[in-house]
């Protein structure tokens, strides 16, 4: 539906009015979307509104790496993100096998031992089963936006002294993964964004842009795909919201899984 303009407006006023009308239309659209969704295999998704945030880390952040250049990112569209990492039960329901190294621990544990390409196979099969094309991996920017949940600290909970309350990492995990959702969520209701298993995201690994960007999707090509969030075997610095690593998309190991994004 076209946006209507009042008569008698100057060019600048007309532009501002159109922007206000577009923003109001987007707010109405967002208000009509369910805040949470559950799909046919029991995966739960949380709605994330569009927004702008500072991606990367400041130069003084402990444990910072040089590839975490601070830059402003705008995400222009809403998305749903998995409340939890994809579990072993959910993987088996879609793919019919049990690839995880910790498969004897139980179906509520995160699936791991899957490559980026394996995750793409899961996504294709889930989309096929549900007759949609809405499931995908989050982009790196979407992942960090979600992990931060409006914060700018190294961890979404702020104080590193509290990290055992929010994630599984090398000091508290006991050399294994744990059932999803056993620690405290972040401010947007997402669990295990720090630790338990690393999470594949969409992007190829590459240097960040130096300026502000909208809806970035990373380089066109590369050698490694990005993994985020740290794992049960990771030191705390690798579980920071800004930490990033490239990993060959065919590689698998017992600290690497994923969570899904879903388009509205």
pLDDT in tens, 61-73: 999 999 999 999 9
**Cα 58 from Cα 54, distance rounded (Å):** 10
pLDDT in tens, 43-57: 999 999 999 999 999
- Residue 44: partners with Cβ closer than 8 Å, 6 or more residues away: 36, 37, 38, 82, 83, 84
Per-residue pLDDT band at 6 (split at 50, 70, 90) = low
pLDDT computed for residue 160 by the predictor: 77
Phi-psi region of 237 (alpha: psi -120 to 50; beta: other; left: phi over 0): alpha
Rounded to the nearest integer, the mean pLDDT of the chain is: 93
pLDDT computed for residue 4 by the predictor: 58
Is residue 1 exposed (0-12), middle (13-18) or buried (19+ Cβ within 10 Å)? exposed
Tell me the three state secondary structure of residue 107. Answer: coil
pLDDT computed for residue 23 by the predictor: 65
Examine the pLDDT at 169 and tell me if it is beyond 70.
yes
Q: Record the tokens describing residue 250, joined without a space.
A: 């065919």
Query: How is domain 35-262 classified at the CATH fold level?
Result: 3.90.1580
pLDDT in tens, 103-131: 989 999 999 999 999 999 999 999 999 99
Q: What is the pTM of this model?
A: 0.90
Listed residue (71, 191, 217, 51) closest to 137, CA to CA: 217
**Helix (H), strand (E) at residue 27:** helix 11-32
Examine the pLDDT at 16 and tell me if it is beyond 70.
no
pLDDT in tens, 23-38: 676 778 788 999 999 9
Per-domain boundaries in the chain: 35-262
Largest CA distance in the chain: 71
């Amino acid at each position: 539906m076209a946006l209507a303009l009042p008569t008698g407006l100057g060019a600048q006023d007309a532009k501002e009015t159109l922007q206000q009308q577009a923003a109001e239309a987007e707010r109405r659209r967002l208000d009509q979307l369910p805040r949470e969704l559950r799909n046919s295999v029991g995966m739960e998704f949380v709605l994330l509104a569009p927004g702008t945030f500072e991606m990367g880390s400041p130069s003084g952040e402990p444990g910072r790496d040089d590839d975490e250049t601070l830059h402003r990112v705008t995400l222009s569209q809403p998305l749903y993100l998995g409340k939890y990492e994809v579990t072993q039960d959910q993987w088996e329901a879609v793919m019919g096998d049990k690839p995880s190294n910790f498969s004897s621990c139980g179906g509520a544990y995160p699936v791991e031992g899957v490559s980026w390409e394996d995750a793409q196979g899961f996504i294709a099969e889930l989309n096929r089963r549900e007759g949609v094309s809405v499931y995908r991996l989050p982009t790196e920017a979407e992942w960090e936006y979600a992990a931060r949940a409006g914060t700018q600290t190294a961890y979404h909970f702020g104080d590193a002294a509290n990290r055992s309350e929010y994630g599984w990492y090398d000091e508290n995990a006991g050399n294994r993964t744990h059932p999803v959702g056993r620690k405290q969520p972040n401010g947007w209701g997402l669990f295990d964004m720090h630790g338990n298993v690393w999470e594949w995201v969409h992007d190829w690994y590459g240097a960040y842009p130096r300026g502000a960007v909208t809806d970035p999707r990373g380089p066109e090509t590369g050698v490694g795909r990005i993994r985020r969030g740290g794992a049960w075997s990771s030191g705390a610095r690798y579980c920071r919201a800004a930490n990033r690593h490239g990993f060959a998309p065919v590689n698998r190991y017992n600290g690497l899984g994923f969570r899904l994004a879903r388009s509205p």
